[in-house]
Structure 1
């Protein structure tokens, strides 16, 4: 294939396919100049939509370039040719959390605590930079060789205006934000908050924390809290308090955190509140002083 020679010129030896997205394929590759293995997302300009190439892709690259955190997949380089875009990133060699759960079932409290607190630190960093992810789900939580979480796939991420700047008008901003999102939630209804499902203007920071609630529930129960096969049923379910199966031992602190994430936006925890909950702090490797400070400044 033509792309192999392009990659050769830059010193990348393409290996096996490790993922497929709607417009791109992700390969494992060996970077000969630095003797490291990386992940390369190759996007064909012929296959991708105009909208994706002109709007989402530049945004994904802009967001990734401006972020650096141990729980986010690191961005190394982007290369553009006449027919393709190549995004070179950190490789997470141990698969994703969805695969782990499909294979091993519900996580122990300790493992759920480890992964969820790492997700919380990564999103706290993201939100403190004025960015939102908007597509958090188990398959976007990759695992490094020590099985630490690396948040991936910034295809729908964007920098939201920091609150300090005067916006054109709140409703205008929220609507433009929404117009974008209604197309965005194509593949992940099960993780989408009720306000998105209802087509209402919403706060994208709180849509991320709702998705975190869905993730935490699934870590400890091993299935999604809401059935997304039927949209009407899904809407009904997301507006009721979430139920836990009686036969599975989930601690009350953890259940309580899930319930405070899976509730209407006006009562839902934001990322700073999540970071300060006792259950999360119990599992954080070191006290998240920097993340808390950065969020309080915003």
Structure 2
């Protein structure tokens, strides 16, 4: 159901997007595709696949051993993954590190480790899903559907890939590549300050590229943060779609014309507070109807600020925070001067464009990706 809205967000004179707005409910996600799986012990070969050449010349044999390991196996395809260690706990279960297995040629039902193909397996308890239904903001079933929507057609280099989704009677298992560099937040913490501007630009461009890919598919993330960006080599990868929503097209408008200048803006009906408070859009903190894409852009502004300064621009987006009061008053530039942030004029301008308290005034994705700081 849709209704008209005279404006959005925290008030103020709109100098940006002045189109009328319609308020709608998020579009439901389709049911994700989940294949049957089983947890069982498998025989796994460890050691070199073939003996070194110098051994073979003298009739040497490979130094292999066979171990029984606890594994997740697809009942349909036979693909298998062995569990190695626990990475972290999550609301509905646990994330475990694993290694892909392949059937060993000529060894019957024995598998061989593929150390070059590590995975992260999110093990989600079905009981906890039921216990949290209607009570928690995060929805692990919708998260799987969002990952499959993003991954359709090959996915995107800077958005988490879902390799496989399996289930048994107890749990659902979401298998993704293991991104070995950890959280981007930890990279900043380890430095004890912001990144060089060129390195921050690289990461931010990657984050925007992945997020734009999601927005093009009418998906807003709602929990963008440095903690939800993992580092894979030199790349940043967006993860954790548990609060993702589908943004409908404006009602009764042709799907082929979503960017028509007369097309109303779409606001999502208020969903309660969600996301991390430091990155939260003021509108979400106030629990008002919101522009899902603008919510992500505010969080991107906070991400960029931390990438450059090493600290967030505010603690929470409320008038009780003196730094937020400066941002709301349009004095972010003064705040950056007080902190003696040694960044380029273009970087300051981009931050000021993103960290606008009024969503209608905030820079949109298409404006940000064309900004001189990113293109120059």
Give the TM interval when normalised to the shorter protein.
0.7 to 0.9
Q: 1:214 aligns with which of 279, 302, 316?
A: 302
Q: Secondary structure at the match of 1:60?
A: helix
TM-score (norm 1): 0.82
Question: Which whole-Å CA distance do the structure 2 matches of 1:150 and 1:7 have between them?
Answer: 26
Is contact 2:82–2:100 with CA below 8 Å preserved after alignment? yes
Q: 149, 156, 159: which is aligned to 1:72?
A: 159
Written as runs of structure 1 = structure 2, the 5 A alignment for 1:142-221 is: 142-144=230-232, 146-163=233-250, 165=252, 174=267, 176=269, 178-179=270-271, 182-185=272-275, 188-221=276-309
More strand by share: 2
Tell me the SS of whatever aligns to 1:249. Answer: coil
CA distance in 2, matches of 1:55, 1:225: 26
Looking at structure 1, the residues matched to 277 and 212 of structure 2 have their Cα atoms a distance apart, in angstroms, of 23
**Structure 1 residue 4, shift from structure 2 partner:** 6.3
- Structure 1: unaligned runs, 5 residues or longer: 283-298
> Runs in 1 of length 4+ with deviation above 6 angstroms?
52-55
Of residues 29-38 and 259-268 in structure 1, the stretch that sits farther from structure 2 once superposed is 29-38
Q: Which residue of 1 aligns with 2:369?
A: 275
Structure 2 segments unaligned to the other structure (5+ residues): 1-37, 42-69, 75-79, 104-113, 255-262
Q: Secondary structure at the match of 1:107?
A: coil
Corresponding residue to 2:316 among 228, 239, 254: 228
Partners of 1:45 and 1:53 within 8 A in 2: no
* Mapped pair 1:258 → 2:348: no
Whole-Å Cα distance in 2 between the matches of residues 65 and 133 of structure 1?
14
Give distance in 2, aligned partners of 1:110 and 1:29: 34
* Separation (CA, whole Å) in 2 of partners of 1:280 and 1:189: 27
> How big is the shift at 1:194?
1.4
Partners of 2:284 and 2:180 in 1: how far apart? Answer: 33
User: Is residue 74–residue 90 contact of structure 1 (8 Å, CA) maintained in 2?
Assistant: yes
1:42 aligns with 2:123: yes
Q: CA RMSD in A?
A: 2.8
Q: Give the corresponding residue for 1:239.
A: 328
Are the structure 2 counterparts of residues 252 and 197 from structure 1 closer, same or farther at C-alpha, using a change threshold of 3 Å?
A: same
| Higher percent of residues as helix | 1
* Equivalent runs, 1:75-114 vs 2, <5 Å: 75-104=162-191, 105-114=193-202
Distance 1:212 1:87, change over 3 A: same
Corresponding position of 2:212: 124
Query: Are 1:117 and 1:281, in contact at CA under 8 Å, matched by a contact in 2?
Result: no
Deviates more, 1:261-270 or 1:29-38: 29-38
| Alpha carbons 2:125, 2:171 under 8 Å: kept | yes
Alpha-carbon distance in structure 1 between the residues aligned to 2:137 and 2:321: 35
How far did 1:77 drift? 1.2
In 1, distance between residues paired with 2:137 and 2:40?
25
Higher Cα Rg, which structure: 2
